[in-house]
Chains A and B, each alone.
Chain A
Amino acid sequence: MLDDFMFRATLAAIGTAISAGGLGCFVVWRRMAYFGDATAHAAILGVALALLFGTSIFLGVGFIAFLMAVLIFSLSGKGQSVDTILGVLAHGALALGLVAVTLIPNQRINLDAYLFGDVLTVTRGDLGIIWIGAVIVALVLWRHWTALLTSTLSPDLAYAAGMNPRREQLVLTLLLAAVVAVAIKVVGALLITAMLIIPAAAARNFARTPEQMAILASGIAALAAFGGVRLSLLMDTPVGPTIICVATAIFAVGAVSGLVRRAA
């Protein structure tokens, strides 16, 4: 079955979706959308680096996303608003990456594949890496869940309970870098943040507790991934954006039904 490229693509998309869904809740709760953008956009720079040194794309992207995540983490400890700096980093990294990719000698690459994903070319090896990454993200998230949740609600509550919210923030930052590396082939650098935020936002309409929201978000993301891959084949559209379109449609349905329920 793994010989079928469609099957591999679907599995890769679902693996990415499940890890992005749960983590995406924290991105929404902590208002880290810009943070996600900065980390994800830096991925293009990672692609350039990987091509230059002839290493795996996952390695290059993971490395640069990790550096970016740690950089933002240390900036966020200064106590000032980092919104503008994040904006500079997000778009600066993207532009730098785009320029760097074209400067690499003897490479004629299809940039679209990295900006919007190219899940149909996923190999068995890629699939293994994506799923190992997704399982690690899910396990770390599960282990740190209570501490992450308490730190998100209030760092002072976490300190009083003997937790270290700064460390939890670092954990979250590193998980984000891991998801970026996992997702680059599936939805591409430009839509990774969408994969984090939209399923979580869609789940909010139906959840009563943080846990429900995380599980629902993963489910919605997986559904969008599955539906997006099928639909893109049917309509001959790019896979990554189609997945995001399906997720957005699910969000819209949820939002409208929520409005109707409240009005009733």
Chain B
Amino acid sequence: MTAILSATGITAKHGRNTVLHNVDLSLKAGEIVTIVGPNGSGKSTLLRVLIGALRPTQGKVTRKDGLRIGYVPQKLHIDPTMPMTVRRFLDLPKPVSDDAAAHALSTSGARDVHSQQMASLSGGQFQRVLLARAILGRPDVLMLDEATQGLDQPGSARFYQQIDAVRRELNCAVLMVSHELHVVMSASDRVICLNGHVCCEGTPDVVSAAPAYRELFGTGTGGALALYRHEHDHHHHHEAAD
């Protein structure tokens, strides 16, 4: 299968600092790829390069013709002076039908909020509405930048389950950035470990065993790995039951 999105030799700056060095990445249709890395490793910068918000100083991003991106930002600050209902927010950037809006909200696990003001939503509801908006454009790829920041652990686990459900319905690729290793890795086809450059890359098994990964995440890796294995088993079980 050919890549729907690929980046080759990306070097990019955040302010004056070069935070990405010669990064290669490619994404196939329907694939779930997770980018993990410590703070300041350039994860968000890489995502911003991929959506076209940041021009790399070197390298090239190639997208499949007409590639539709559904982007869920790390956080979205809506100025309190701007009134915004959930329903109106879902009409950005393109107006959608009431049916489509209701369906997207229920797929994202945020029913019954459509007439509320965005400012009145809880953290979890807000992230789900962001997810609903992102999937309304029928994206080929869903990109999530630390989408569970500010959620507690059960909350973020539920959010990732929701993403899995969304992906099954839309059959889109998912590219996630996260530092929550065990939760996100369990659902990934491929993990990219980033620290300014690609340290290692492969299936969750390969990456979590890689020396470069262990070096980056240190002693916590053992525990995370155990948890990961557990959830991975569980996940397969679940799929078999389906």
A149 with B83: CB separation less than 8 A: no
Chain A residues with CB under 8 Å of B85's CB are 208-209
- Which residues of B lie under 8 Å from residue A200 when comparing CB positions? 81
Q: Is B12 an interface residue (CB 8 A)?
A: no
Given contacts A150-B93, A153-B78, A204-B81, contact A209 B88 (CB under 8 A): yes
With an 8 A cutoff between CB atoms, is A201 at the interface? yes
Q: Does A146 contact B (CB under 8 A)?
A: yes
Contact status A207-B73, CB under 8 Å:
no
Residue from B15, B52, B81 whose CB has the most chain A CB atoms within 10 Å: B81
Q: How far is the CB of A151 from chain B (nearest CB, A)?
A: 10
Closest to A152 in B: B82
Residues 166-205 of chain B: 1 if any A CB is under 8 Å from the residue's CB, otherwise 0? Answer: 0000000000000000000000000000000000000000
A159 x B81 contact (CB < 8 A):
no
Q: How far is the CA of A167 from the CA of B81 in the complex (A)?
A: 23
Please judge, given known A-B contacts A153-B76, A160-B51, whether A213 and B83 are in contact too, CB under 8 Å: yes
Task: Kindly state whether residue B53 has any CB partner on chain A within 8 Å.
Answer: yes
For the complex, is A5 an interface residue (Cβ under 8 Å from B)? no
Closest to A213 in B: B83
Whether, in the assembled complex, A87 has its beta carbon less than 8 Å from a beta carbon of chain B, the answer is no
Q: Are A28 and B81 in contact (CB under 8 A)?
A: yes
Question: Is residue B132 contacting chain A, with contact meaning CB distance below 8 A?
Answer: no
- Chain B nearest CB: distance from A251 CB in Å? 13
> Which of A147, A155, A201 is B93 in contact with, Cβ under 8 Å?
A147
Q: Is B117 an interface residue (CB 8 A)?
A: yes
Interface size, B (range): 20 to 34
Which bracket fits the contact residues of A? Answer: 20 to 34
- A29 at the A/B interface (Cβ < 8 Å)? yes
Contact with B along A161-175 (1 / 0, CB 8 A): 111000000000000
* Bound-complex Cα distance A24 to B140 (A): 37
Complex interface: chain B residues within 8 A of A152 (CB): 82
* Distance from A127 Cβ to chain B, minimum over Cβ atoms (Å): 32
The interface bits of chain B over 55-88 (1 if a CB of A lies within 8 angstroms of the residue's CB, else 0) are: 0000000000000011101001011011111001
A157 CB-CB contact with B under 8 Å: yes
Q: Say whether B83 contacts A210, CB under 8 Å.
A: yes
Q: Known interface pairs A149-B92, A155-B53, A156-B53. Does A209 touch B79 (Cβ–Cβ under 8 Å)?
A: no
Q: Is A158 an interface residue (CB 8 A)?
A: yes
Docked-complex contact B15 and A79, CB < 8 angstroms: yes
Query: Across the interface, do A208 and B117 meet the contact criterion of CB distance under 8 Å?
Result: yes
A159 to B53 CA separation, bound complex (whole angstroms): 5
Q: Which residue of B lies closest to A80 (CB)?
A: B15
CA A248 to CA B181, docked complex, whole Å? 54
Question: Cβ of A147: which chain B residues have Cβ within 8 Å of it?
Answer: 93
Q: For residue B94, which residues in chain A have a CB less than 8 angstroms away from its CB? A: 146
In the complex, A31 has a CB within 8 A of chain B: yes
Closest chain A residue, CB of each to CB of B44: A156
Give Cα distance in the complex from A146 to B84, angstroms.
Answer: 13
**Cβ–Cβ contact A209 & B84, under 8 A:** yes
Q: Residues of A contacting B70 with CB < 8 Å?
A: 160
Q: Is residue B143 within 8 Å, beta carbon to beta carbon, of the partner chain?
A: yes
Instruction: Count chain B CB atoms within 10 A of each CB in A153, A162, A210, A211 and give the residue with the most.
Output: A153
Q: Which residues of B contact A156 (CB under 8 A)?
A: 48, 51, 53, 71, 73
Let me know if A84 is at the binding interface, CB within 8 A: no
Q: A159-B51, A161-B69, A211-B88 are in contact. List 19 more A-B contacts (CB 8 A).
A: A28-B81, A146-B93, A153-B76, A153-B82, A155-B53, A156-B51, A157-B71, A157-B76, A159-B52, A160-B51, A160-B143, A162-B52, A163-B93, A207-B83, A208-B117, A209-B84, A209-B85, A210-B83, A213-B82
A-B contact list, 27 entries, CB within 8 Å: A28-B79, A28-B81, A29-B81, A79-B15, A146-B93, A146-B94, A149-B92, A153-B78, A153-B82, A156-B48, A157-B71, A157-B92, A159-B52, A160-B51, A160-B53, A161-B69, A161-B71, A161-B137, A162-B52, A204-B81, A208-B83, A208-B117, A209-B83, A209-B88, A210-B82, A210-B83, A213-B83
